[in-house]
Structure 1
């Protein structure tokens, strides 16, 4: 796992100023090409256009299936260890965009078991976060006919048998080399659970291209799963990966976090709170004085409010380029840029919160997204188990 004097990127820790190109060398992934970007649905999403999703594996197979109207799927999940912030929700809105444009299947696993193993939280606390996170995911507005949400502990009848089958394909030395020394035996087993998540669409629907849009720190899960699929003991293809950069932390380099004392913008934040956090906590690329900024300009490449707009919250390329140009020449001040970013984020959150408020109880809403009994049986059968329970 990449861990240098400059930065650290693992599934469980991200620190420092990340060199994304060096990560590709370490992980063996490839940058997205201009030709690949052009194959995404038109208009190409800003996350692709602006190289936020900047690299991947086997992306071509997914794009070909999407453009030919063949079965294809997305897997993007959530570890429910706390409230969701804006960095967590972006991949779900990207998956929703692809589903709207191409009709892809979307599978959403919630790894409540992993978070219990990893965090100093009770099962009851994790359960509470799971319920709240589910409401935010449901508020994105996925098509229930083409979306399945799987909660590990609630869907153990399908997740555990698959994980047990896949665990036999992974050695402890592979886990240690990929993840480092796990804190407990549960985390040693978890890569097999993650493989169950990533291969589940194919076990239910048959062999087809699957794409996993994830932040680059989660890539080890995909690599282990691809090794399992490559052994060809199951009728599945290796899942592809679409790797993203991190939405910056409010206070500067590193990914936005929902833990500890670091400020983050949560999906539950009201408009006033968003403005307060951006004004008081967002790292600025501007100068120390208005006079100096007018003379020398600011640096949008390190300015967090600008990066929020660039990553996701400003769809217009023309406007985002104009803001960068005006910031560099000093005609746009740091405070003005913060107000623009805060307004865009607050508008997004208000729309999301309104959709969430329209939802009923989470158990009722979730019913239409859960695996059907026939789908559970199909997955078990493909993994070599009886299609129905023996006992």
Structure 2
């Protein structure tokens, strides 16, 4: 295997030094073009203009609908297997940005069932993380009239009938070829549940363009769902995808994770904890001494504090460019860059935590985001189920 191919990217494993261009060849996705970037709402989002969202599938129908004030939706979900960290949250703030700019309908599925199949955790543990994660999602501040949150086990009356219908469209050989041999039959069935998530906005609201902004490792879910939609048995469009690079772990290249031993910055971390994690763990692109750094400069391309600022935590392009230039020329030291990044991240988290603390009870807050009975019936009818199956016996 060539050195540049010595990496693994699947929904369940990310390993090695990732070559994002070669991933596009593997997955058959296309780069997000400069022209497509200009068609996102103005002001453009840093994740788009800085090439963090770098690839796409069928993004143009979504952009057409968004710019023409026609129905369009986003699906971006959460697998509640642990506390949320900063790498988990930025797609949701991106979805909120689109909702504010163009009135995007946002669907947020919680795959608590998948995490039970995948992780060595009890349903009680998964349920506890679900409740914690839901509060973090509610703190983002979505418009409840334009947002629906679906929890697989709590919304099984909708999710299961649809997944049952879609499961007939997917063979076990397709699952094995796409994901590898599943560890259990729950994971074999899960692609049908994921297809339910991605098609649900259309099944409820009618045929329209849907976009799925996800990290590139989740693209296999989209590919399987697009195959289902292409079979024309349901009045839906293939969902499009907006694929992102991974937010780096503090230790350097790779995907930030809250489920392994690598440190990550949690949404619950206070300012002191954030600063300590950045100072202690964040991989530096600087030199081994101040004198050498002043003389030769640092490398912002591999410096994790700079990358965190570039990805999400510094809005100003001018400030980002200034930091990179000063770091390269050596006038900005690694320690100073770490302090700047810690300040920005802590400020973001404090604002998020304040909104989270202001929420009332989870049940009360969540009620405005649940599918209505009319919406549930519409989705079930799309799957061929009568409004009350038992009454038809």
Which range, TM-score by smaller chain? over 0.9
1:346-379: CA deviation from partner (whole Å, max 9, x where unpaired): 0000000000000011111110000000000000
1:228-250: CA deviation from partner (whole Å, max 9, x where unpaired): 00000000000000000000000
1:6: Cα distance to partner?
2.2
The answer to whether the 8 A contact 1:286-1:299 is kept is yes
**Structure 2 residue aligned with 1:361:** 361
The answer to whether the 8 A contact 1:3-1:9 is kept is no
**Structure 2 residue aligned with 1:186:** 186
**Structure 1 residue aligned with 2:307:** 307
Change in Cα spacing, 1:92 to 1:376, as seen in structure 2 (3 Å) is: same
**Structure 2 residue aligned with 1:45:** 45
**Structure 2 residue aligned with 1:102:** 102
Counterpart mapping for 1:121-140 below 5 A = 121-140=121-140
1:260: Cα distance to partner?
2.1
1:28-75: CA deviation from partner (whole Å, max 9, x where unpaired): 100011110000000110000000000101100000000000000000
User: CA separation in 1, counterparts of 2:10 and 2:386?
Assistant: 37
User: CA separation in 1, counterparts of 2:361 and 2:70?
Assistant: 35
1:258: Cα distance to partner?
0.2
1:200-253: CA deviation from partner (whole Å, max 9, x where unpaired): 000000000000000000000000000000000000000000000000000011
User: CA separation in 1, counterparts of 2:5 and 2:25?
Assistant: 17
User: CA separation in 2, counterparts of 1:325 and 1:181?
Assistant: 47
Task: Structure 2: state its 5+ residue gaps.
Answer: none
**Structure 1 residue aligned with 2:383:** 383
1:341: Cα distance to partner?
0.3
Aligned length: 390
Matched position secondary structure for 2:232: coil
**Structure 2 residue aligned with 1:257:** 257
The answer to whether the 8 A contact 1:86-1:265 is kept is yes
User: CA separation in 2, counterparts of 1:105 and 1:387?
Assistant: 25
Q: Return the TM-score normalized by structure 2.
A: 0.98
Q: CA RMSD in A?
A: 1.1
**Structure 2 residue aligned with 1:80:** 80
User: CA separation in 2, counterparts of 1:3 and 1:106?
Assistant: 40
Counterpart mapping for 1:236-247 below 5 A = 236-247=236-247
Change in Cα spacing, 1:3 to 1:181, as seen in structure 2 (3 Å) is: farther
**Structure 1 residue aligned with 2:222:** 222
User: CA separation in 1, counterparts of 2:317 and 2:30?
Assistant: 25
1:390: Cα distance to partner?
2.5
The answer to whether the 8 A contact 2:5-2:19 is kept is no
Counterpart mapping for 1:1-391 below 5 A = 6-390=6-390
User: CA separation in 2, counterparts of 1:134 and 1:4?
Assistant: 39
Q: Return the TM-score normalized by structure 1.
A: 0.99
Matched position secondary structure for 1:139: helix
Matched position secondary structure for 1:340: helix
1:4: Cα distance to partner?
7.6
Task: Structure 1: state its 5+ residue gaps.
Answer: none
1:64-99: CA deviation from partner (whole Å, max 9, x where unpaired): 000000000000000000000000000000000000
User: CA separation in 2, counterparts of 1:10 and 1:221?
Assistant: 10
User: CA separation in 2, counterparts of 1:388 and 1:239?
Assistant: 29
User: CA separation in 2, counterparts of 1:5 and 1:218?
Assistant: 19
User: CA separation in 2, counterparts of 1:3 and 1:194?
Assistant: 33
1:265: Cα distance to partner?
0.1
Matched position secondary structure for 1:71: coil
User: CA separation in 2, counterparts of 1:17 and 1:100?
Assistant: 36
User: CA separation in 1, counterparts of 2:362 and 2:331?
Assistant: 48
